[in-house]
A = this chain, B = another copy of it.
């Protein structure tokens, strides 16, 4: 993944070595807030207050709230670039675009770090509420907003997308189920892309849910 916004991206390490205590305090405060009340309800201001620092310092060290979250869950990649590609896809190609871009990350040098994180969540050594919040509130929330209608909030749809993507990740990278594990990205997109597209915009046989 290339970010393409290097100029705006805050330095994560190397600067202000004397303040690493503040950095750790911010991470600890953010971890506690995100775990307690989730991503949406956590504000950078509240995290800064808990950590005893100015909100500007939180942004200086970590960037956006989403990037702070990625640091808390020790995500080895910045999801922003991937999410931007997905958001730019036409609605009728959203399924294959999600699959293609996410599989590209898993197959990249950052992939083993992602797999290690997923493994530790599944094993219970990470707090599953953080993994859940990350998956639903950060990654999939922006997809959900694109597919939501007044009649259907899209939550069932994105949880189904999550199930298939988790299964592809685990089958390919954790258990190593062949031939899935060595299937080319093109074959994977041909097989699984239509599944995701149906979950997102097709008939999934449910009563619509609105909020």
Which A residues fall within an 8 A CB radius of B? 119-125, 128, 131-132, 135-136, 155-156, 159-160, 162-168, 170-172, 174-181, 183, 187, 190-192, 194-195, 198-199, 204-206, 209
User: Are B187's CB and A159's CB within 8 A?
Assistant: no
User: Are B180's CB and A163's CB within 8 A?
Assistant: yes
A168: shortest Cβ distance to chain B, in Å? Answer: 5
How many copies of this protein are present in the complex? 2
A sample of 16 cross-chain residue pairs with beta-carbon separation below 8 angstroms, ordered by A number, consists of A119-B122, A119-B123, A128-B176, A131-B175, A135-B175, A135-B177, A159-B179, A159-B181, A159-B183, A163-B170, A164-B167, A165-B167, A166-B166, A167-B168, A179-B209, A191-B204
- The interface residues of chain B lying within 8 Å CB-to-CB of A121 are 175
Contact flag A124-B132 (CB < 8 Å), given A156-B180, A180-B163, A198-B194: no
A76: shortest Cβ distance to chain B, in Å? Answer: 18
- The interface residues of chain B lying within 8 Å CB-to-CB of A204 are 190-191
